Amino acid sequence: MTDKTSNDSDDAGAPDAIHEPRQWRDKGWTAQVIKNDDDEGWAVAMYKAGEAEPALVGPWTMGRNKKDPKPLDTNAFNTLVKTASEVIRRHEQHLQATLHPTVTVDLADRRYLVALDIQPDDDAPEASLSAFDGGGELLAKVPVSPGFRLNRASAISWIEGGFQRPK
């Protein structure tokens, strides 16, 4: 197969589309079939446009001769894009949960949402602890150590302590 350009590609906005047996580039993604160094098989690496590291690397099917890899095709590529996109989405959700955890607590007939916001930085990471009432209004915000552990007990202690900066 030869390179496809915007004139004969389904993706009219991608003049750099490639549809080859071992490399398929389209829709902001590149699939590259590679020799699996761990065994005698093949693997496929999925790269999102602009990223140096693959979002996904997985085993790839052998061809009929049991020696060469099965060629990439539209259906396989679309499945790989969907899977790699899901991996990225899960990674982003995990990062969000790690850098911005929240805890809801009920005290004295009031509901509070306590949020820890961490701004990662190799040299000087920062974090803040915020409290919101049941209507979403900000009640307090204080700087804390990026290593602060937000959980139900620490949230209650902070609220009961009058929203003073935790030690």
- Is pTM beyond 0.95? Reply is no
The pLDDT tens digits for 95-131 are 998 999 999 999 989 999 999 999 988 899 999 999 9
Give the side-chain half-sphere CA count within 13 A for 119: 9
Q: What is the pLDDT of residues 61-102, one digit of tens each?
A: 988 888 889 999 999 999 999 999 999 999 999 999 899 999
Give the pLDDT confidence score for residue 15 in this predicted structure. Answer: 58
Per-residue pLDDT averaged across 134-144, rounded?
95
Nearest residue to 58 (alpha-carbon basis) of 34, 82, 25:
34
Predicted local confidence at residue 107, as pLDDT? 93
* Angle at CA of residue 29, ends 57 and 40, nearest 5°: 30
8-state DSSP, 136: S
| Segment 157-167 mean pLDDT | 93
Phi-psi region of 82 (alpha: psi -120 to 50; beta: other; left: phi over 0): alpha
Give the model's pLDDT for residue 39: 74
Q: What is the percent of the chain where pLDDT is above 90?
A: 75
Q: What confidence score (pLDDT) does residue 30 get?
A: 96
* Predicted local distance difference test score (pLDDT) of residue 108: 87
pLDDT at 50 over 60: yes
**74 vs 79: CA distance, rounded Å:** 9
- Residues 40-56: what's their mean pLDDT? 93
Q: How many alpha carbons fall within 13 Å on the CB side of residue 101?
A: 11
pLDDT computed for residue 7 by the predictor? 37
For the stretch 6-45, pLDDT in tens is: 333 344 445 589 999 999 999 999 999 998 877 778 999 9
